[in-house]
Structure 1
Amino acid sequence: MDTVPRAPLARLQQAGKQYGRTRALEQLDLELHAGQVLALLGPNGAGKTTAIGLLLGLHAPDAGTAELFGLPPHSLQARRRTGVMLQTAGIPDTLQVRELVALARSYYPQPRALEECLALAGLQEVQRRRYGQLSGGQQRRVQFAMAVCGRPQLLFLDEPTTGLDIDARQGLWRAIRELAAQGCAVLLTTHYLEEAEALADRVMVIDHGRLLAQGTVEEMRARVSQRRIGCVSVLAPAQVAAWAGVQDARAGEDGRLQVIAAQAEPVVRRLLAEDPSLSELEVRRAGLADAFLALTARSGPPMNAEEAA
């Protein structure tokens, strides 16, 4: 029996937004479904913040539509089912972590237990400290706890792990995966492309307000036919960079020779032939970061000096 596809929880349809002479978004389509983590990627000024602002009802589109749960984004019914963690937050410095999360919980009819919120964000050890006494990374974790305390069906995370150390970042990744597994839809923006690679079911790359590409992480990788070759070699990078088929060659921070080539096999054969002492050879395919850089490099210059958010 055929199943009826579920309606998206968040949707932009042909959405456009202009600030003065600057077109921040141009005919952007976006859909986010339950249990999905969608990474919205783009350089500074690409239009990511504008897209989120339209979905949250902070701005109205000049063209097209924005919907949450099939409702206008500013409607109270939609907002009660949504959690938000933006890049900036006006939070009182004098309240304790525990007090802040308890206050945020009080706005929702069926919130998560306070201890569950603290555990999801890894805040148990600092729950009695005042917000103003926390490090930047700890404050981001408080903001995450406040965003998820209402059991949102839809979660907006705008650069959520900025300022977090490796352990804290991994902890937040685990929490995001857990929420998605429970059916929460997550819209993620991040400058850490390894974060998108680790979390996202689907990726959208935008620049200058336009969609450049979208697909799974694997589909995005496949757009770039590159191989990265690393090794310990006596060959000079400048020498290798002149070979046919080599796109770039340089010495890495660890002193290893790093080569980018369209095809690995002929370059590896020549490396081995010209340096019999070569060791620690490693070949890997292009990652999401390579695809992102290739896509945004092709997208052209900004429309004008007043770049969109």
Structure 2
Amino acid sequence: MKNLRNNTSKYITCFAFSCMLFSASCTKEYLDPSRAKTDVALTSQQGLTAVSIGLQRVYTLGRTGVMFNSIAANGFVTNEFSLLNSGNIPELQLSTGGNAVDGTNTILFNLWTSANKIIYDADLVIANAGNLGDKGYASGLIAYSSIFKALAIGNMAQYWEKIPDGTGKNVQFIARAAGFTKAIGVLDNALTVIAANPISAGFNSNVPPAVNIVNTLHALKARYALFSGNYPLALTEANAVDLTKSSAFAFDPASPNILFSIISSNNVFQPLNVNLGLTGANVPDAGDKRIPFYTFFTGTPTATIRMGGFATATSTAFPIYLPGEITLIKAEAFARQPDLPNALIELNKV
């Protein structure tokens, strides 16, 4: 009996010790020592810069980015693209249209989730940048992040009738027009901030140089003002854009242009035809310079149409806006006010 008690006591002690170890192993938090804590990152200039630059990565890189998915969705909806492989189910759904497009469509899913991720991260930068001592650097952070927040809101508003009015739980949804107005508000705030404290040279040296921040803010504001029907504002903002300067997303072998990757595989989609999907009276003239820029033929023994333009190489930059877009915004803004003589002047510039 004594031995039994002693053995039982040993077993209980061992069991209790094991439980203690198990409990400790379940509650211990293992942290990645190479990764900064969120609260620390958002209080430092370096951390906020990293988050801000990361917005461009989420927007542009890979098949999950907003750039690829917005282009793919637009191309099939407008009948500009031809599906090459019906095994690409998301593209097949969009090319078929109607009830074929369901909740499993990853193009729409990625567009939605990446856009909301950008808005969430941009809000963190915008909310915390003002706490920095260098106000010129803070202005750059706010302006740069606002570009991607506005693009994310604008892209969602273009594809959905209603979009969330923020991020988090129990968020209300707003109509498309209100979404464009919200994007304009984001851009307005950025322009106000940099008017008070111009962007510092130090900030400009730390972000991708291909993005012209001030021009892009005005260009996007003109775009969304036009979409929302505010034609006087669209014209004012379009006139504020310096058409001699470009603004684009730059790529390189380490961060490749996803459009080139997709097009060069020749296994997903290509342009439907040289008419850019247009029919009837809208077919481009034979001398339209867009045709040789955006399309070309290659392959043997029979050459097939391929996408050119901004999908020709791994490092081909993708424009955030085009000078021609800004001129057309002016033309439409004039026409809808209405001021047809000035609208025609702008159209003839294209």
Q: TM-score, normalised by structure 1?
A: 0.28
Q: TM-score, normalised by structure 2?
A: 0.26
The structure whose RCO (Cα within 8 Å, separation 6+) is larger is 1
Select the structure of larger CA radius of gyration. 2
* Richer in strand (by share): 1
